[in-house]
Structure 1
């Protein structure tokens, strides 16, 4: 996941330099919120609860996938900026329940 995060960081860095954006922790957190809103919108359109215009079902599904990618990418970037290992955080938070079930 670290390699993926670094590739995403490289792309985000190019974007930030092009548009003169400081990639602060707040900006990353706000981008997560923005992208989550876009994910909600894509889902509403896909489930016929939003205006779809001329988009086909396949285009709507692609849009949903792209918005999921955006949310995940910005979460990974925020974790990177905070020095958080996402895999370890998931293991510590989620997988502890597997150990409880085994006991």
Structure 2
């Protein structure tokens, strides 16, 4: 499952990079991961009332929180793929279950 999902994110990311003319190097993968983590943090703060809503409804904030979580997940998988990390093995070691 992880590999299949990773390949889908990889294809979408490469298509986006090609369309916008940039190279996805090791720095890019790490910087995008940090960027998305920051965006998730921003939406989590809005969701919890620790930051201003900027006129967004609770429903809009909830949707954006989900979007930013999806972005972060994608970039975690892209980072791991770029660095040839075996997430399945790491999950089994760290979380003590084997992903199905």
Q: What is the TM-score of this pair, normalised by structure 2?
A: 0.89
Please give the alpha-carbon distance, in whole angstroms, between the structure 2 residues aligned to 1:6 and 1:71: 16
The equivalent of 1:72 in structure 2 is 73
1-side partners of 2:65 and 2:88: how far apart? Answer: 24
Question: In the aligned structure 2, how far is the partner of 1:25 from the partner of 1:87?
Answer: 21
Structure 1: gaps (5+ residues): 97-103
- Following superposition, the deviation at residue 73 of structure 1 comes to 0.5
| CA deviation profile, 1:26-59 (whole Å, cap 9, x unmatched) | 1111101000000000011111111212211111
* Cα distance in 2, alignment partners of residues 4 and 77 from structure 1: 10
Q: How many residues align?
A: 96
Give unmatched runs, 5+ long, in structure 2: none
Rg larger for: 1
Matching of residues 24-43 of structure 1 within 5 Å = 24-43=25-44
Report what 2:23 is aligned to. Answer: 22
> 1-side partners of 2:50 and 2:93: how far apart?
37
Q: Secondary structure at the match of 2:54?
A: coil
Moved runs in structure 1, 4+ residues, more than 2 A?
Answer: none
Deviation at 1:21, TM superposition (A): 1.4
Alignment of 1:82-101 (within 5 A): 82-95=83-96
Partner residue, 1:63? 64
